[in-house]
Amino acid sequence: MATERTFTMLKPGVLSRRISGEIISRLERKGFDIVAAKLMRAPRVLAEAHYAEHRGKPFYEGLVDYITSGPIVAMVLEGDAAISMLRRLCGSTKAEEAAPGTIRGDYAMHTGLNIIHASDSAESAEREIGLFFSPEEIVDWRDGNDSWI
Ligand code: IDP
Ligand code: MG
């Protein structure tokens, strides 16, 4: 499997629910390497660019309002097939379809408040990483386990 980088974001509400540590622990325990992380409040232009594919949909304005409403934790995760692995770990977009055991399945009751974002393709990952991070903010490191895989 090829090593990939993907973009993830803990959405507003995660910090106020005081579950950011739990969610990040689940990402680490799965085996992703966190290679960049940033606590921030997304400026509206950034949120609009991030969700540009949804512009014009009924939920778009509310989505941008929500994403800019409070602190987020933006991260870049690295690992084998990281993009699809993270999507599976997060679970379905729709709250009622997100399986128990997935992050959304375990922590979210509403689709609009589904607590975590994960890039849906290699193109999205590259675009989203570039929106939120400069190359110098991404730290290349190895945990030393590569030789066992
Ligand atoms: P994704 O986050 O699983 O990639 P997308 O379809 O890209 O799902 O939608 C982006 C975000 O917009 C979702 O995570 C969710 O928060 C919100 N969203 C998507 N569809 C709806 C909807 O039908 N109602 C309300 N919010 C939605
Ligand atoms: Mg998406």
pLDDT of the residue at 146 = 78
Residue 145 domain-assigned (yes or no) = no
pLDDT of the residue at 70 = 98
Residue 141 domain-assigned (yes or no) = no
Mean pLDDT of 6-15: 98
What is the per-residue pLDDT across 89-119, written as a single tens digit (0 to 9) for each? 999 999 999 999 999 999 999 999 999 999 9
Distance CA 14, CA 117 (A): 12
**Structural domain boundaries, residue 26:** 3-134
Which protein residue has the closest C-alpha to ligand 1 atom 1?
93
Which protein residue has the closest C-alpha to ligand 1 atom 18?
112
Ligand 1 within 6 A of CB of 111? yes
pLDDT of the residue at 42 = 98
Residue 109 domain-assigned (yes or no) = yes
pTM: 0.96
pLDDT of the residue at 132 = 98
Q: Is the dihedral of CA 62, 124, 9, 110 positive or negative?
A: positive
50, 54, 110, 117: the catalytic one is 117
Name the average pLDDT for the chain.
97
Mean pLDDT of 35-58: 98
Going by pLDDT thresholds of 50, 70 and 90, the confidence category of residue 16 is: very high
Helical segments of 1-149, H only = 20-30, 44-50, 60-67, 82-90, 103-107, 122-132
Ligand 1 within 6 A of CB of 121? no
Mean pLDDT of 117-140: 98
**CATH number of residue 105's parent domain:** 3.30.70.141
Residue 43 domain-assigned (yes or no) = yes
Residue 140 domain-assigned (yes or no) = no
Distance CA 94, CA 21 (A): 23
- Give the rounded percent of residues in the chain with a pLDDT score beyond 90: 94
Residue 148 domain-assigned (yes or no) = no
Residue 42 domain-assigned (yes or no) = yes
Residue 142 domain-assigned (yes or no) = no
Rg of the chain, C-alpha, whole Å:
15
50 is catalytic: no
Within its chain, how far is the Cα of 9 from the centroid? 3
What one-letter code names the amino acid at 86? Answer: L
Sheet strand arrangement including 3-10:
33-40, 72-80, 3-10, 116-118
Which residues have C-beta under 5 Å from ligand 2, the single-atom ion?
Answer: 120
pLDDT of the residue at 147 = 80
What one-letter code names the amino acid at 145? Answer: N
Distance CA 55, CA 64 (A): 10
Q: Give the count of domains, the chain.
A: 1
pLDDT higher than 80, residue 149: no
Give residue 88 CA to ligand 2 midpoint distance, Å.
13
Q: Is the dihedral of CA 141, 6, 117, 97 positive or negative?
A: negative
What one-letter code names the amino acid at 95? Answer: A
Going by pLDDT thresholds of 50, 70 and 90, the confidence category of residue 148 is: confident
pLDDT higher than 90, residue 144: no
Ligand 1 within 6 A of CB of 120? yes
